[in-house]
Amino acid sequence: MELIESQHARQVSFSKRRSSLFKKASELCTMCAVQVLLVIFSLGRKPFSFGYPSVHSVLNRFHQFQNPDASTSQSEATKEPVMQGLNDSFSHLLEQVKFEQKRGKQLNRKIMEHSGPDWLKAPMDSLNLEELRKVKETLVDVKKKIKKQRDELLAEPLASSANNSIELAHCPETNLVGDISSVHPQGSLTFREEE
């Protein structure tokens, strides 16, 4: 090996070999799981560096190796705020997890309240006599609640006069008849029981 005499050829060779050298350093990091720092100065005194995981981390590690007492106190000083920040983040995340668990339990409770008993979900053919009685009782209770709600709504002042009453619908099972006179300003219909 000998020095390249031509300045231009030397710069071209430097550029090509520098990238090859960085590539070899990268391969060494990957294959051997090591930290590497490579610094090269060009002819124009411009520095080129490669570091894994970073130039600064490898330099700091090198300085700690050179002066272990100073590095220990410095690293301890930097660890304290970092640990405090991590602890704060952990506490905050733990609170969020607890909150979400409580919220999940509340949502499950609401789902169970509104889903009804299992025998209501089963096909009617598969129910025994006792289960059919429970279904009937539940439906009777629901009908009573609907009538009560209807009576409360009918007791409210009507939006228009009784002269505008037109029969809209009739449901024989409930004896309810639709009535335009009972249309609320919001646009919903109420029903009255047919006599």
Please report, for the chain, the start and end positions of each structural domain, with discontinuous segments joined by +.
8-66, 119-154, 156-195
pLDDT digits (tens, 9 = 90+) for 38-96: 999 888 888 988 888 888 888 888 888 777 665 555 566 667 777 777 777 888 888 99
Mean pLDDT of all residues belonging to the chain: 76
Alpha helices (H) along the chain: 7-32, 55-66, 68-115, 118-121, 129-155
pLDDT digits (tens, 9 = 90+) for 104-153: 999 888 877 776 666 566 677 888 888 888 888 888 998 999 999 998 88
- pLDDT, residue 147, reads 93
The domain defined by 8-66 carries CATH number 3.40.1810.10? yes
- pLDDT, residue 77, reads 62
d(CA 74, CA 95) in angstroms, rounded, equals 33
d(CA 79, CA 140) in angstroms, rounded, equals 69
pLDDT digits (tens, 9 = 90+) for 151-181: 888 887 555 444 444 444 444 555 554 444 4
Q: Is the pLDDT of residue 102 over 90?
A: yes
